[in-house]
């Protein structure tokens, strides 16, 4: 067990044992904030004041983003179905919203009102009844007003001033002040990620977020200014963020390396030469990036060869930033190569699927011998007897 894991394990144990007191203790220890249990929940007045503070222009911007995110995620909703087969057999597929969800919203190195919208809106569309936000507050015991304004726009009013592993533990376990939730979503630092990992099973989680990354595939038609700007934008997320350029052009690679060195970002960047775009696509699929930009002359021709990427940005006027903020698709994406088997956050993350099976006596009789045969081969005789007993006379 490394140092971070030991710290998180201790924090979870403290929250399990002392509840609110642990949240208060760690707020003072890690953030130098003295807060009482009564102050943990953001008051309605604070939300209204924040909404007034941010101004009409920002409100207009978050409403545009919310409309686009809502419209995109509405298309993700699935339908339940039921089939009636011979002998009145009924088979079905139900979609049930998760009862309660906690949204972790980071605040520190940067402020992320966009994350509020990206997490809350799909949950609302899925039909989640209780949506809770956990977000660190400042030393003035106030949550950033832009976060609160986004929460109000998303229709979330249950917000708690807490961050780190202790916030995840409180949402998973529950305290006197904070009722536990069924699932926790949203990215955070290493302590948040480890807490989600350790508490999985006691609570559901979306994914374990790693450092953000981007791959850019560029041919000779690409604008070096766009490439270097997009690589720099990715690098500003976090010191561990990664930007990778794959190009068929030696000139593009040379100029991009020079630009990144000039910006002192070369340590977070990697550069690869590809003989052609097919090879570039294969290399990108091996990396399985969170974000993939196709800065090539015909991006649609390359799209069909991309199998592993959280989100694909097509052409020179589709920077990652447009997806991060307001295009509509979710910006909570699989990181660290997990795009090989994982997907963006979506409505599907906030529902459960349920199978429905209804057999009649004639239908069960028709498959009785097959069921007995299966149970005998698997050595589970009681399974077979559970079928046979339904045909015995008593």
Residue 241: which of 291, 207, 191 has the closest Cα?
A: 291
* Active-site choice (73, 237, 291, 331): 291
Q: Which residue out of 46, 153, 237, 290 is catalytically annotated? A: 290
Paired sense of beta strands 183-185 and 351-358, if any = unpaired
- Coil/strand/helix, residue 218: strand
Calculate the CA 358 to chain-centre distance: 35
**302-319: burial string, b at 16+ Cβ within 10 Å, e else:** beeebebbbbbbeebebb
Residue 167 to residues 13, 15, 40, 54, 243, Cα–Cα distance (Å): 13, 9, 11, 26, 31
Is 54 within 8 Å of 149 (Cβ atoms)? yes
- 202 labelled catalytic: no
Nearest-angstrom CA–CA distance, 132 and 108 = 19
Any catalytic annotation for residue 290?
yes
Burial class of 70 by CB neighbour count within 10 A (0 to 12, 13 to 18, 19+): middle
Report, as residue numbers or ranges, the catalytic residues. 290-291
């Amino acid at each position: 067990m490394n140092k971070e894991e030991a710290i998180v394990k201790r924090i979870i144990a403290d929250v399990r044992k002392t509840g609110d007191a642990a949240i208060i203790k760690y707020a003072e220890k890690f953030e130098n904030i003295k807060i009482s249990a009564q102050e943990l929940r953001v008051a309605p007045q604070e939300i209204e004041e924040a909404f007034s503070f941010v101004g009409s222009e920002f409100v207009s911007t978050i409403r545009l983003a919310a409309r686009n995110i809502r419209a995109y995620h509405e298309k993700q909703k699935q339908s339940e179905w039921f089939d009636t087969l011979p002998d009145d057999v009924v088979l079905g597929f139900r979609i049930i919203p998760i009862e309660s969800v906690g949204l972790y919203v980071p605040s520190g190195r940067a402020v992320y009102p966009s994350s509020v919208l990206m997490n809350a809106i799909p949950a609302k569309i899925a039909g989640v009844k209780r949506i809770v936000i956990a977000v660190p507050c400042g030393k003035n015991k106030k949550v950033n007003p832009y976060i609160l304004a986004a929460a109000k726009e998303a229709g979330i009013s249950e917000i708690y001033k807490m961050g780190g592993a202790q916030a995840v533990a409180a949402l998973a376990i529950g305290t006197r002040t904070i009722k536990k939730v069924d699932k926790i979503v949203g990215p955070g630092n290493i302590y948040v990620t480890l807490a989600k990992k350790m508490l999985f099973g006691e609570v559901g989680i979306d994914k374990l977020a790693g450092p953000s990354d981007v791959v850019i595939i560029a041919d000779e038609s690409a604008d070096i200014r766009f490439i270097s700007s997009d690589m720099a934008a990715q690098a500003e997320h976090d010191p561990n963020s990664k930007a990778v350029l794959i190009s068929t052009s030696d000139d593009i690679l040379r100029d991009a390396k020079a630009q990144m060195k000039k910006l002192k970002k070369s340590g977070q960047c990697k550069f690869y030469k590809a003989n052609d775009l097919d090879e570039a696509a294969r290399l990108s699929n091996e990396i399985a990036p969170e974000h993939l930009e196709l800065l090539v002359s015909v991006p649609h021709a390359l799209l069909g060869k991309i199998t592993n990427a959280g989100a694909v940005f097509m052409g020179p006027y589709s920077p990652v930033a447009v997806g991060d903020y307001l295009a509509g698709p979710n910006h909570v994406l699989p990181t660290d190569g997990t795009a090989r088997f994982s997907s963006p956050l979506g409505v599907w993350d906030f529902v459960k699927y349920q199978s429905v099976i209804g057999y009649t006596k004639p239908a069960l009789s028709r498959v009785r011998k097959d069921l007995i045969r299966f149970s005998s081969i698997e050595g589970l005789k009681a399974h077979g007897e559970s079928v046979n007993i339904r045909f015995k006379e008593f």
